Amino acid sequence: MTRKISGLKQLGEQTRLPQSPGDAELERVPNPHADTLYVARFTAPEFTCLCPVTGQPDFAHFVIDYAPKDWLLESKSLKLYLASFRNHGAFHEDATISFGKSVAELIQPHWLRIGGYWYPRGGMPIDVFWQHGTTPEGIWLPDQGVAPYRGRG
């Protein structure tokens, strides 16, 4: 039996892929453990967007860690939001920071960090890291698990 969560427009519904991040809608759900300090992690190893200058595709591995307060990030809306960048031009820094800020604004967590591990363009990877808030004391925070780029070495 499936039940509809009030206020959600995408979960449990057939949803079209948004054509741009401006068309995408991140959604949140109530945190049933708002009284507990913990970390949730989303990993998106196949993020793509376009270089705003050349139009060539760029690829990244995103790792999003956050310590929720009252809200959780709804995963289907996150998948659609990330996919909306596929035909959108954005520099690595802009895509990573805009993504992090959008999530932080929506769910207002205790703390959030995003690691954007970008695959090399022109032989040089550009990794982008952003944090919202101070890392809470006493939480278990594993390494993001993405090895630094080593090329042929």
3 pLDDT more than 60: no
Is residue 59 a contact partner of residue 46, using CB atoms and an 8 Å limit?
yes
Q: Of 35, 49, 51, 65, which is the active-site residue?
A: 51
Instruction: Decide if 58 is catalytic.
Output: yes
Whole-model pTM over 0.95: no
Q: Domain 28-132, CATH 3.30.1130.10 — does that match? A: yes
Write the single-letter amino acid at 151.
G
Catalytic residue among 23, 35, 49, 58: 58
- Give the CA angle between residues 39, 43, 111 to the nearest 5°: 30
Angle between helices 75-83 and 92-107 (to 10 degrees): 160
What is the average pLDDT score of the chain?
90
The pLDDT value recorded for residue 66 is 98
Catalytic residue list contains 49: no
pLDDT of the residue at 101: 97
Angle (CA) 8-41-4 rounded to 5° is 20
| Conformational region of residue 21, where left means phi above 0, alpha means psi within -120 to 50, and beta covers everything else | alpha
Residue 76 above 60 pLDDT?
yes
Q: CB–CB of 66/31 below 8 Å?
A: no
